[in-house]
């Protein structure tokens, strides 16, 4: 067994410990030896693998971020020339082109090992709903692997690939990760193109990443997250959500939201693991904030109890119902009788829930929940196939409906030797932020990589600090609370952080128009100036700065506490026609003196 985390693998290539061809063929043999786990539907032959390996012949390892990195593809995602089955043999077709995301990974040098097993038509969280065999947990084969992306998770955990693509409509990219000791990242909806994906619910589906650590998940996400103009649901990434901002060193202080009431389905061991996770986050500088989770749970119910099941019916409308497994047919046929009025009624409910949920997500830096309440044996799932599947989705079903981003982090094992995980989530385009927080948490745990003997390695975080979605702005004049230009802050969603003073290193001048002051730094004759600090969404900062007329501008202002923030400064030649009002200590006091 080889250490397949991407950093270690590339170093092994550079040392000539092994070649990509040697490794890939060894991994193929390993997958055959471990075929009882039912991870694969189609392993590529040596001849098929040659096509991808030959791409590396004239390439440099330093030029390709995923040079020779083996990966798996859930078999509802297209790989050109290889059948796509969605775990339904009668549905199978052979695509001529790769899925858009797959193509990005291939361009980066990654090598596909094959197509993995799944709950049929990606309908399920258990990994047992496939004619290609039940997925078996990588640690205890009596237990479910989680689904629908069962094979992708199991293949990664067993050390057959470095990472794998799954999908996630209701939790399929997170539940299998939790139960197989993996990072499972569900990106922002639309960040990964769905071109070449067999849809489950087209408006909700996300292609996801299973990885051994958050560094690898962040790297793969950055490679895959290219904008596809042919995908009508595609969304362009945001500057703050790029790989350069991945960082496992967290802010000194942060807040995380935790549901006021939690359901573990009677499993005291998973409850203890969750409580220890809270302690770990607090040890990293976090402050727990209790959250009323009821609107999230009500939103989750809409996915299968509401009209969204009609999307699953629509995605399979041309599939012979007799070709489906009975449990899949039962779920999809639940769409019968749903009306357009039902769909609109549910949309109204969802929008009301989202407003409440967004307010709570806005109140903290990240949200923390269990990924799933408990673990089930395969025998238990056979006895209660729908009920227990629903329990596994308790904390996952709402995520795409509410347009959130989520990352599973494994946090330990229960006495049955099965792993268990928690989920960190937040708004769309918080992928790198979530992977950074998840990485910091993951680093506190003494866990192996998947089900291998290799320990989790210390993160080599990138140099750029974690990007913030808000920026502090120091104001000293017409933008102060109650003054004529304060609306330029409030209309951009800025909120008052505090009233304070600058360091005693500034001079304040009244400009000739009598409407605005100008603040200049003076290290020798400066005084402390009364100021306010406002927190503004970064997305609106540019338009705010564009409104500022000369001679004023934005620079860095030092406060009395020694911190530096963006704030109003002025060109040096302003003093020629301006009045020095520094003795008043602030703009408000100066104006008061004129009355």
- pLDDT per residue as tens digits for the range 11-38: 999 999 999 999 999 999 999 999 999 9
Phi and psi at residue 527, to the nearest 5°: -130, 170
pTM equals 0.87
Could you give the C-alpha distances from 88 to 68, 94, 135, 154, 586, in angstroms and in order? 31, 13, 15, 20, 73
Instruction: Pick the closest to residue 28 from 44, 12, 39 (CA basis).
Output: 44
User: What is the strand order of the sheet 552-558 is part of?
Assistant: 495-501, 530-537, 470-475, 564-570, 552-558
pLDDT recorded at residue 75: 98
Residues contacting residue 412 through CB under 8 Å, at least 6 positions apart = 273, 276, 419, 420, 445, 447
Rounded mean pLDDT, 514-537: 94
Least confident range from 149-158, 439-448, 570-579: namely 570-579
Instruction: Give the residues across from 207 on adjacent strands.
Output: 167
* pLDDT tops 60 at residue 361: yes
Query: What is the domain partition of the chain in residue ranges?
Result: 6-443, 470-593
* pLDDT tops 90 at residue 499: yes
Instruction: Give the pLDDT confidence of 536-557 residue by residue, as tens digits.
Output: 998 899 999 998 988 899 999 9
Rounded mean pLDDT, 343-362: 95
Could you give the C-alpha distances from 94 to 50, 79, 118, 148, 195, in angstroms and in order? 19, 8, 18, 21, 15
Rounded mean pLDDT, 341-349: 92
470-593, which class in CATH?
A: alpha beta
Provide the terminal-to-terminal Cα distance of the chain, rounded to the nearest Å. Answer: 82
Distance CA 557, CA 29 (A): 62
Least confident range from 202-206, 343-347, 428-432: namely 343-347
Residues contacting residue 449 through CB under 8 Å, at least 6 positions apart = 3, 4, 5, 159, 181, 212, 213, 455, 456
* pLDDT tops 80 at residue 399: yes
84 within 8 A of 101, measured Cβ to Cβ: no
SS3 338: coil
3-state secondary structure 249-311: CCCCCEEEEEECCCCCCCCHHHHHHHHHHHHHHHHCCEEEEEECCHHHHHHHHHHHHCCCHHH
pLDDT recorded at residue 419: 98
Rounded mean pLDDT, 298-316: 86
Instruction: Pick the closest to residue 88 from 313, 316, 389 (CA basis).
Output: 316
**Helices then strands, each counted (H, E), the chain:** 18, 19
Token pair of 474 as six digits: 């120091």
pLDDT recorded at residue 197: 98
pLDDT recorded at residue 462: 47
557 within 8 A of 519, measured Cβ to Cβ: yes
Strands (E) across 196-269 are located at 206-211, 254-259
User: What is the strand order of the sheet 506-510 is part of?
Assistant: 517-521, 506-510, 579-580
pLDDT recorded at residue 353: 97
Rounded mean pLDDT, 296-310: 88
* pLDDT tops 70 at residue 467: no
34 within 8 A of 1, measured Cβ to Cβ: no
Phi and psi at residue 214, to the nearest 5°: -75, -30
pLDDT recorded at residue 383: 96
Distance CA 126, CA 392 (A): 8
Is residue 390 very low, low, confident or very high in pLDDT (cuts 50, 70, 90)? very high
In degrees, rounded to 5, the angle at the alpha carbon of residue 207 between the alpha carbons of residues 203 and 212 is 150
Rounded mean pLDDT, 504-523: 93
Instruction: Give the pLDDT confidence of 552-581 residue by residue, as tens digits.
Output: 999 999 999 999 999 998 877 777 789 999
* pLDDT tops 50 at residue 463: no
The mean pLDDT value of the chain amounts to: 94
Rounded mean pLDDT, 326-346: 88
Q: Which residues are catalytic?
A: 74, 148, 172
Burial of 112: CB neighbours in 10 Å, binned 0-12, 13-18, 19+: buried
> Is domain 6-443 in CATH 3.90.1300.10, yes or no?
yes
């Amino acid at each position: 067994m080889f250490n397949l985390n991407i950093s270690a693998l590339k170093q092994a290539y550079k040392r000539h410990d092994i070649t990509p061809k040697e490794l890939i063929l060894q991994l193929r043999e390993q997958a055959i030896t471990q075929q009882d786990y039912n991870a694969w539907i189609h392993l590529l032959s040596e001849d098929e693998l040659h096509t991808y390996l030959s791409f590396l012949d004239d390439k440099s390892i330093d030029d390709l971020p995923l040079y020779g990195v083996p990966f798996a593809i859930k078999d509802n995602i297209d790989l050109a020339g290889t059948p796509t089955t969605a775990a339904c043999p009668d549905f199978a077709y052979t695509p001529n082109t790769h899925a858009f995301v797959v193509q990005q990974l291939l361009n980066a040098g990654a090598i596909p090992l094959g197509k993995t097993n799944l709950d049929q038509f990606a309908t399920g969280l258990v990994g047992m709903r496939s004619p290609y065999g039940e997925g078996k947990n990588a640690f205890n084969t009596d237990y479910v692997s989680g689904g629908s992306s069962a094979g992708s998770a199991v293949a990664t955990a067993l050390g057959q690939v470095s990472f794998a693509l799954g999908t996630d409509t209701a939790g399929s990219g997170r539940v299998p990760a939790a139960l197989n000791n993996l990072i499972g990242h569900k990106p922002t909806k639309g960040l990964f193109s769905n071109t070449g994906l067999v849809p489950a619910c087209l408006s909700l589906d996300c292609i996801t990443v299973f990885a051994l650590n958050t560094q690898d998940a962040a790297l793969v996400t950055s490679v895959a997250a290219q904008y596809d103009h042919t995908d009508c649901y595609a969304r362009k990434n945001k500057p703050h959500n790029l790989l350069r901002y991945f960082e496992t060193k967290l802010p000194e202080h942060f807040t995380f939201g935790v549901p006021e009431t939690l359901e573990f389905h009677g499993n005291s061991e998973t409850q203890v693991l969750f409580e220890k996770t809270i302690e770990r986050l607090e040890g990293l500088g976090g402050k727990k904030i209790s959250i009323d989770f009821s609107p999230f749970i009500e939103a989750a119910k809409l996915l299968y109890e509401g009209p969204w099941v009609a999307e699953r019916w629509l995605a399979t409308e041309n599939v012979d119902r007799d070709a489906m497994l009975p449990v899949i047919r039962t779920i999809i046929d639940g769409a019968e009788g749903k009306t357009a009025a039902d769909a609109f009624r549910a949309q109204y409910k969802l929008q009301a829930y989202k407003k409440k949920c967004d307010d709570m997500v806005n109140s903290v830096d990240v949200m923390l929940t269990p990924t799933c309440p408990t673990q089930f044996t395969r025998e238990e799932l056979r006895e209660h196939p729908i009920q227990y599947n629903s329990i596994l989705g308790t904390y996952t079903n709402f995520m795409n409906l509410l347009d959130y981003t989520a990352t599973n982090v494994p946090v330990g094992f229960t006495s049955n030797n099965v792993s268990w995980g928690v989920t960190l989530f937040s708004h769309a385009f918080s992928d790198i932020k979530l992977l950074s927080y998840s990485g910091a948490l993951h680093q506190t745990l003494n866990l192996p990589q998947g089900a291998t003997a290799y320990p989790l390695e210390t993160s080599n975080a990138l140099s750029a600090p974690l990007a913030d979605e808000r920026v502090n702005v120091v104001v000293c004049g017409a933008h102060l609370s109650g003054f004529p230009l304060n609306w330029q802050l409030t209309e951009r969603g800025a909120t008052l952080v505090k009233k304070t003073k600058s360091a005693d290193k500034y001079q304040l001048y009244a400009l000739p128009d009598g409407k605005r002051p100008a603040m200049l730094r003076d290290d020798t004759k400066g005084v402390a100036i009364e100021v306010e600090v406002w927190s503004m969404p970064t997305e609106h900062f540019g338009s705010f700065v564009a409104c500022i007329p000369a001679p004023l501008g934005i620079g860095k202002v030092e406060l009395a506490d020694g911190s530096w923030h963006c704030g109003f400064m002025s060109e040096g030649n302003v003093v020629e026609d301006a009045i020095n009002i520094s003795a008043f200590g602030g703009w408000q006091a100066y104006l008061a003196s004129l009355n």
